[in-house]
Every structure is written in structure tokens, then in C-alpha cells.
Amino acid sequence: MAKDAKSLNGTRRIKADVVIVGAGAGGGAAAAELAQRGLSVVMLEEGHRYRPREFPASYGWAINHLYAERGTRIVEGESYYPLPGGRGVGGSTLINSAICYRAPDAILDAWADAGLEGLAPERLAPIYDLVEATIGVTEMHPLQARANNLFIKRGSDALGLGGGFVHRNAPGCVGCGICYLGCPSGGKGSVDRNFIPLAEEHGTEVCADCKVARILVRDGRAVGVEARVVDQETSEEVGRLTVDADAVVLAAGTVGTPMLLLEQGLANRSDQVGRNLAIHPAVGTYGMVDDAINSWDGVPQAYAIPLEKGVLLQTYNAPPEVFFTTQPWSGADGMRKMRMLKNIAMCGGLVSDGSNGRVQLGRHGKAKVTYALSTRDRHRLIRALRGIVRVLYAAGATEVYPGIGDGVDWAKTESDALAPLTPDVEEREMNVYASHPMGTCRMGVDAARSVVAPSGETHDVPGLWIADASLMPSSLGVNPQMTVMSMAIHVARNLAAA
């Protein structure tokens, strides 16, 4: 059963075994698991519920309707980084590139060694199997990947870097190249297409347009939530909804979940709520090629290259209107470059970072997200740019932007492009992007150093559980959506057994 602002006007109160805050990767997977185990579930989502045919393939529309804070969320470091997040039934799975990795065994082994035995590789493996089957994970085919990805593959092969096509949850992908605008074909397996309908088949009630304002606590125990019902087009409050529940699951994301806790001073005896933020800082660059490859056509991110431990190169693309807004080009040279956009190949790189950031209460109810890029990770970003430059030239690029500076001066030789990419390049000279926020309510055995117990229940507040990327004890180094879903199922099973 699905409801939204049109049907939730006025004041309402409902009862459920479990109320879940957030309808993204974690919330969707947790809802399906709990509902299949016979619990009554109500899921609240701040954003709206859209069908694939309602996505207009418009960047402006997507920013205003599918992105948290209308795409204005940033990380404050030595410079400012964009920090995108999804908003709507489906969460960030509505706007991601559908890349699917299991967490590296070395990461899960470290978590298990720290007392989180339920997250050991052998324990999570069958859950990963379930997730992959549910969301439709397959390896990308070259016909879907198309020219930009194949160009980067050519460079990787020439250098012997051992790259490969990624696995994605997009079983019906047609390669239209606009994953981050909402999938208009319905070919991407975002959780609104699988886990959430599965939950609904077992009785879950999904309430969109509901922004949770308060977690209800009685005698120290979480017993429900209060939400404002908001019309997404007018931003007008049209109703209030209270859900009484035996358990509350926060799945509002790495920024949204700690914000809810900080606003009420909940579950923070350890003073760890909002701390330990990892973001997979990323950089990217591009080069001119002789052939028209129309990089915006085909899967945005279908090929990856493990450059070194902790550094993963991945292709990316951007349609002309998006690419143009990010460039400082002007004059005759700028027009020349824009006319040659069909000949530009693109590649990015992310690093497995330290947990060096923090989410705090900011002004006007918004989150203040800060981050300190370590010297180690800054050097990794520089090596990622050097790797991309080498791949582009090995594939046949004729001019390459090194990825630092104002984007006006391009290099005509590989040596000229590599020359400025020295270890002393400063953070503010790079165009850093915050890819995958994690870790702000981390799971752990020690209640003095973590927010959530190994079960997924908060140390301080009985009945209050967390099931999103904020749980992660450390950075993954790979795209996290499958691990978010798997950890959420792990938490849901513990809740159902409690």
C-alpha cells in the first residue's frame, strides 16, 4: 500500500510493529526482510514516489526533485566538494550508476576481528547472494557500455592494468546514459523496483512526502515517530502523521540519520554521532580523441581499473548541458572545446579514505558537513589523476586536461600532462567530489567508541535501530550500495529475532 501527500492530508495516527525512516537502499532491504518475517511495517520517505515514465531525463528537474537539498549539499574541506544524495522512494539508488561490488574480504575481516562477527565474509556471503538475485546484478556487456567505456578499456589493456567491466543492477538497461537523472526506461534495479514492491507484497505501507520531525521516546525506549506531510511541488505542509511502533529503524542515510539523532540529543552518550565520516573522495579528468565517441551515450560507469590498493579508476560521463556548467571555458578556445565535446573521453578515480569527516547541526536546519583530506589520501588522488592521464594517452588521446587548475590549459603530450601532477599539488587545486558518505553512526562492540551495537540496535536507546551506510565502521573502497543492503538485512534479522 502506497500513500503520499494527496492522501495523507490532515492529522493521522497509525500503528505498526516497525517504522522505517527512509526508503533507500537500507530502508528498502530492511523493509522487505522484516515484512517477509511477518512484522507489520510502515516506511516513511521525505521525497516523492515516481514511476519510471515520470522521469523527464532533465538535469534541472532531477536536481529539484530527486536530490537531497536540491543538489546543494556540500562537504567543507580546504575546498568545497559536492555531496549528492537521493531523495524519493528509492533514495540514492534512484540517481546512482547501479554499480555493484561486494565489500573486499580484507575490510570485512577487519570488521569481524573488531568484534563484528556477523559481518565476516562467510556470514555476509549468502546475504550478498540474496541481494544480487533480488536487484538483478549482471556484468555489463560492451554493447551497453559503448564508446567511452571501450576507449578507457583500450587504454587499460594497452598498459596491462587488468581492468574489467563492472557488475550493475540494471537488468533492463538500454544504455541511455542518464542513470543519475532517474531511469526513464525502468531498466535500473533501484530499490523502488524490487525490495520495496517485495515489502509491499507482504503488507508494508509506504508513505511518501513524509519528513520525520521527531523520534518518539517513552521511558528511554523508542516507540515511534512524528512526521510532517509536505507537498513536493509547493513545499506546503498538508498534514501530520504519527506512527506508533515497537521498533524504529533509521535508514535516512549517512547525513540524515545523524541529523535526526543530533536534533534530539539521542543515542550519543559516546559523542560519536556524526563523527567518523568517510566519503570516498574522487577526482576525474578527460581528453580529446580523434573519433567521435559521444561519451554521454552508453552506461555512465561500466568499466573499472584497480590502479593500486585503495585507488579505483572508473569511467564516467556527463551530458553536454551538465558538462558545460562545470567548465570555465570561454572565447574561441572554449567554443572549440565545446564543439569537440563528442570527442572527449572521461574517466575518474576514487580512494578508500580515512574517517576524517563530521556531520553537525548547521544553520536553518541543514547539515554542516566537514572533512579533512589526509596527506595520504591527497597523494592517492594525485596518483589517480596520473593513472587516468596514462590511460587516456595509451588509448589514443591527443590532448588531455591534467585534472588540476582552471581547466583552460590542456597538455598535448603525456609528459606535459603528468608534469604538474606532483605530490605537492594542493587539495584546492583539484576538483574533488564526495562519492559515497559512510560511517557517521558506526557499528561497534565498545559503546564508548560507537553508536550502534553489533545487532544494529543503538547502544543507548532500546528499540532504536539503524540500517544504512552510517553503520559502516570504515571506508569500503568500492561502491557501497550492495553492502548497505546486506548490512540492513543483517540488522533486520536481528530485530525480528529480538
> Looking at the chain, which residues constitute the CATH 3.50.50.60 domain(s)?
2-77+84-98+101-136+181-273+438-497
pLDDT computed for residue 1 by the predictor: 56
The pLDDT score that the predictor gives to residue 107 is 97
- pLDDT for res 391: 98
The residues of the chain scoring below 70 in pLDDT are 1
Domain with CATH 3.30.410 in the chain: 141-168+281-351+374-431
Q: Are 171 and 292 in contact (CB under 8 A)?
A: no
Whether domain 141-168+281-351+374-431 has CATH 3.30.410: the reply is yes
254's CB contacts (< 8 A; 6+ apart) are: 277, 359, 437, 438, 439, 440, 468, 469, 470
Q: Name the CATH topology of 2-77+84-98+101-136+181-273+438-497.
A: FAD/NAD(P)-binding domain (3.50.50)
pLDDT of residue 229: 97
Backbone angles phi, psi at 137, to 5 degrees: -80, 130
The Cα 445–Cα 113 span in angstroms is 11
So which residues are the catalytic ones? 436
